[in-house]
Structure 1
Amino acid sequence: MRFRTLAELAQACAKANRPISAVMLEDQAMESGQTAERERKKMLDYYGIMKEAVRKGIYSDKPSRSGLTGGDAKRLHAYSREHEASLQPHAGDAMAYAIAVSEVNASMGRVVATPTAGSCGIIPGVFVSSQERYGWDDDRMVDGLFCAGALGYVIANNAFISGAEGGCQAEIGSAIGMAAGALVELKGGSPAQSVHAVGLALKNTLGLICDPVAGLVEIPCIVRNGFGAVTALAAADMALAGVRSAIPSDEVIQVMLEVGSAMPSAHRETAQGGLAGTPTGKRIAQQLAKDQRTP
């Protein structure tokens, strides 16, 4: 890649007079040795999987393998259409779709890790709801995915995207930043605005711990995907309105690295602290363990 930081990415875009997605596609094709057309086809297939997971999660209330979760996306989707929901339809759909994909993941369905399985709902939630609202075709959404990929590449190589390494800020936070920055490009924003969106999004999730109850990617992971999708919409709107990240986004990524590295192990996907360490969290884990031992 011709960039390692978000600043270098913005500079590469300015020099080439191309959007982030185009720069990323060119670099990805060069690195993989494949044609740009082949890389786009692969990304289009990934987007198809995302949309399939949204539909499956919205129109099915199949519980997870543990029985702890399932059906919330369907409930949210119905509520937003039958009542005066606080969120406008777009944000409400983004939230419901993000939860839908996360529920599909919990029920062992097929998802795309963006950037991880624990945060797999945020980008599909933002992208599919935005596509429905604005009437964009799938080819345009592929551009958005390449933009998101470039932003995730920078985060992963300068901090982390794994909850076991840096807490949930690394998974949910990264996904929010990727979705927000990509949405800025999809709506006609500049590379600089996309970069600001990443910083704005990440600042809002610094310190978020990874505390999955019973070690499963369900509680609180699924609802965090829903909230994350709404946050991504907000960060994109801020950046497009001209709100800037006062702390450069690359420095925010460094802070995420520092915070995650200092985070106690109990708060990094070990299911030993946070919500997993509550009396109810422990009781759920014990019951699931007992059920697994029962023939």
Structure 2
Amino acid sequence: MNTWNEILEMSKTMPLPDVILTIEMLEYGTDPQETKEKIGKILNVILEESKEQFGKKQKTLTGLTGDNAYKFKNYSPKLMGKFNYIATITALSISESNASMGRIAACPTAGASGIIPGVFYALHLTFKPDFEKLLNAFIVAGGIGNVIARKATLSGAAGGCQAEIGSAAAMAAGGLSYFFSEDEKITGNAAALALKSLMGLVCDPVGGFVEVPCVKRNGNIVNLAISSAELALSGIKSVIPLDEVVEAMYKVGKSLPETLRETGEGGIAATKTAATLLENIFKKFH
């Protein structure tokens, strides 16, 4: 199975999480229950690390990041509610932990590793659901990631940051909307709305390190995933179906110049300030 539309067809006869587990069985011969248990272990790691790293200061390789989650945790938000606040702290925390060589679930990638923990830890703390309900939404998020991986790419080097953090946002938005609706069409709309909003986003890490702008981008984009889910849950639809959005993202990614695909040679990575920062960083190592 390669398309979301095919998944929708199968979901007419069984719940969406079961469809995704069945597809894994048909493609790889894996037992659905064993697959579900393995996915559950990944979710547990995400929840454990989100709790452990929540709002902590981190010592990153370059020192360009490391205290963003700490600052935000010790700030009283003026605009966002509890759910978004928890999600933002978590996204920053896991991203900075990744930059500090901490334990993460690269879901879907290391550079976009804060988005999924952000929404699922916020669900865990705010709504206190049973693990089965949370796991089913996580399986659905993974199913969306698989569709993107098969039809396009999750790699920043191949498709820009739209392929990494855009995919993470689509997965998170889809997982959130399924958690509340258990409706596969709403889920697909949420994912499409998120991915469309990040179409063309370049991958421009300063010095090639997954720190600037990656960490704060995770903190921002987790909120886009949440708003995309809210839009879909309200009944707003994506005019362009998810499969076509994924195809468009892939084409856009292929058209991006190499300087804007994880090489650290374009975008903000090519600014005067970035060059100065790199000079100072390299001096530390010599």
Structure 1 contact 189–240 (Cα < 8 Å) conserved = no
Aligned counterpart, 2:206: 213
Aligned counterpart, 1:28: 24
Pairs aligned (count): 286
What pairs up with 1:45-194 in 2 under 5 angstroms? 45-79=41-75, 83-194=76-187
Following superposition, the deviation at residue 84 of structure 1 comes to 4.5
| Ranges of 4+ aligned residues in structure 1 off by more than 4 Å | none
The gaps in structure 2 that reach 5 residues or longer are none
Aligned counterpart, 2:11: 13
Measure the CA separation in 1 of the matches of 2:74 and 2:181.
Answer: 31
SS at 1:207 equivalent: coil
Question: Which range moved further: 24-33 or 133-142?
Answer: 24-33
1:163-185: CA deviations, max 9, x gaps? 00110000000000011011111
Aligned counterpart, 1:247: 240
The amino acid that maps onto 1:66 is: T
Structure 1 contact 183–236 (Cα < 8 Å) conserved = yes
Measure the CA separation in 2 of the matches of 1:161 and 1:234.
Answer: 22
SS at 1:119 equivalent: coil
Aligned counterpart, 1:278: 271
Structure 1 contact 169–206 (Cα < 8 Å) conserved = yes
Following superposition, the deviation at residue 100 of structure 1 comes to 0.7
Question: Which range moved further: 66-75 or 50-59?
Answer: 50-59
2:227 is matched with which residue: 228, 234, 248? 234
Measure the CA separation in 1 of the matches of 2:171 and 2:145.
Answer: 6
Question: Which range moved further: 125-134 or 27-36?
Answer: 27-36
Following superposition, the deviation at residue 283 of structure 1 comes to 1.5
Sequence identity (%):
37
The amino acid that maps onto 2:253 is: G
Following superposition, the deviation at residue 228 of structure 1 comes to 1.5
Measure the CA separation in 1 of the matches of 2:245 and 2:26.
Answer: 29
Following superposition, the deviation at residue 30 of structure 1 comes to 4.2
SS at 2:11 equivalent: helix
Aligned counterpart, 2:40: 44
Aligned counterpart, 1:289: 282
- 1:226–1:59 distance in 2 versus 1, CA, 3 Å: closer
The gaps in structure 1 that reach 5 residues or longer are none
Following superposition, the deviation at residue 107 of structure 1 comes to 0.4
The amino acid that maps onto 1:6 is: W
1:85-142: CA deviations, max 9, x gaps? 2111111111111111111100000101111000011011001101211111222222
Q: Does 1:265 align with 2:245?
A: no
Measure the CA separation in 1 of the matches of 2:65 and 2:20.
Answer: 37
Following superposition, the deviation at residue 21 of structure 1 comes to 1.3
User: CA-atom RMSD, angstroms?
Assistant: 1.4
Question: Which range moved further: 212-221 or 136-145?
Answer: 136-145
Measure the CA separation in 1 of the matches of 2:30 and 2:73.
Answer: 40
- 1:12–1:220 distance in 2 versus 1, CA, 3 Å: same
Measure the CA separation in 2 of the matches of 1:153 and 1:84.
Answer: 35
The amino acid that maps onto 1:7 is: N
SS at 1:117 equivalent: coil
TM-score by length of 1: 0.93
